Structure 1
Amino acid sequence: MDTKSLMIDTATMLFQQKGYKTVGLNEILKACNVSKGAIYHHFPNGKEELLIACLHDLKVAITTDIETIFRGHRSTKEAVQAILHKLIHNLETEDTITGYTFSSIVSEMATVSEPVRNACSALYENIQHIYSAKLVAEGFTNESASEIALMLTASIEGAMMLCLTQKSTDPLKTIAKRLPNLFV
């Protein structure tokens, strides 16, 4: 793995685990075993630019994963259930879903930095677009599909945050049980 990718992967993990404001550049440097010059070589504007690169990588990874799941299921209902079961499984077996959630970064930084807010917004929009497109293909109107996609995104993201704070999979299990009612 090249140095830039290593810094992005490491910073993403640290930001998700500890929060953007808590993680200092020195901690990232130490975890990557690189010099301060390496950070500024790849991210001349510093930590915030690194965060935006992390959010971009999350956008690609999460979008790719969701698209793969959606292609493998005939209906939005089945695909959403598959996503929820994957998240529950990851939380139960790995005790984390950090690869999927970035709400902590949003709550910390979205009101402070317009570029970070835009990067977070783009990720949510990608997720909602995937949901919405599948719903439209199933016969939902654009408006209805867009509304349901928003509700799915908010419900899943909110449940992930509740799972992490409660150290329980119950919030995800609850929405897995209740979300299918949206597709009626």
Structure 2
Amino acid sequence: MKKITTRDKLIQAMADALQRKGLHGVGLNELLEMAGAPKGSLYHHFPGGKSELAVAAIEHISQRIDSLFSRLFTEQADPLQALHSWLQGALQQLENSQFERGCPLATIALESGPEDVQIRAALQRSFATVRLALSRQLQGIGYPDEQADNLAALFVALYEGGLLQARVAGSSEPLKRAATALFNLTREQLPRGAQA
């Protein structure tokens, strides 16, 4: 088993902080404390400071999402059921955290500015990776490429917007309603002969 390094601990601490507080809601001392890392270790591993650590955390989060999709789409024969499981897992995490833990990508995206070039580039890559993974699964059950791409973009938009609304409302209802509507729409538009 791979030993967890100080660098790994810092990345995990930042990923957690991004999900709960966003980039500007967490200070360096808090990150070091969360990681159990000595002072000076952040700049040793991330000379670019908090922004460089945030980029590494975004990439870490993207890899976790990739792994989750691989598992869900392997376990579920129906990609739409796998997507439903993904949304259910997000809702459960949000509810279990008393609506504190939203999507870490959305949290940092909302507070990033034009000067955050590297952070925005990392976010763009992460969102593109998620959309591509979803599109491939939808293509696999018979959706034409463009329709699959469009539905994947819609799923990501629903996930992000629904989680955001649920978080501020303190209720999972906004995401549940949006998801129900989208799944009904998606099933109605299944191409003839599709497998789901």
TM over 0.5: yes
How many matched pairs? 184
> Could you tell me which residue of structure 1 aligns to residue 186 of structure 2?
182
SS in 2 for 1:104: helix
Report the Cα distance in structure 1 between the residues aligned to 2:107 and 2:80, rounded to whole angstroms.
27
Report the Cα distance in structure 1 between the residues aligned to 2:94 and 2:164, rounded to whole angstroms.
12
- Which whole-Å deviations, capped at 9, do the CAs of 1:49-100 have from their partners, x for residues lacking one? 0000100100000121122112222222211111122222223334357374
Matched, 1:173 2:176: yes
Shift of 1:141: 1.1
Q: Identity across aligned pairs (percent)?
A: 27
Compare 89-98 and 51-60 and name the one that shifted more.
89-98
Shift of 1:46: 0.8
8 A Cα contact 1:97 1:160, kept in partner: no
SS in 1 for 2:23: coil
Q: Name stretches of at least 5 consecutive residues in structure 2 with no aligned partner.
A: 190-196
- Matched AA of 1:102: L
Report the Cα distance in structure 2 between the residues aligned to 1:23 and 1:69, rounded to whole angstroms.
32
Compare 89-98 and 60-69 and name the one that shifted more.
89-98
- Matched AA of 1:182: T
> Could you tell me which residue of structure 2 aligns to residue 87 of structure 1?
90
Matched, 1:152 2:155: yes
Report the Cα distance in structure 2 between the residues aligned to 1:174 and 1:101, rounded to whole angstroms.
22
8 A Cα contact 1:110 1:116, kept in partner: no
Report the Cα distance in structure 1 between the residues aligned to 2:62 and 2:54, rounded to whole angstroms.
12
Instruction: Give the alignment's TM-score, normalised by structure 1.
Output: 0.91
8 A Cα contact 2:20 2:102, kept in partner: no
SS in 2 for 1:102: helix
Report the Cα distance in structure 1 between the residues aligned to 2:99 and 2:136, rounded to whole angstroms.
29
Residue in structure 1 matching 2:165, options 151, 162, 180: 162
1:29-40 mapped onto 2 (5 Å cutoff) = 29-40=32-43
> Could you tell me which residue of structure 1 aligns to residue 60 of structure 2?
57
Report the Cα distance in structure 1 between the residues aligned to 2:96 and 2:20, rounded to whole angstroms.
17
8 A Cα contact 2:13 2:34, kept in partner: yes
Report the Cα distance in structure 1 between the residues aligned to 2:110 and 2:20, rounded to whole angstroms.
14
Instruction: Give the alignment's TM-score, normalised by structure 2.
Output: 0.86
SS in 2 for 1:74: coil
Output the aligned Cα RMSD.
Answer: 1.8
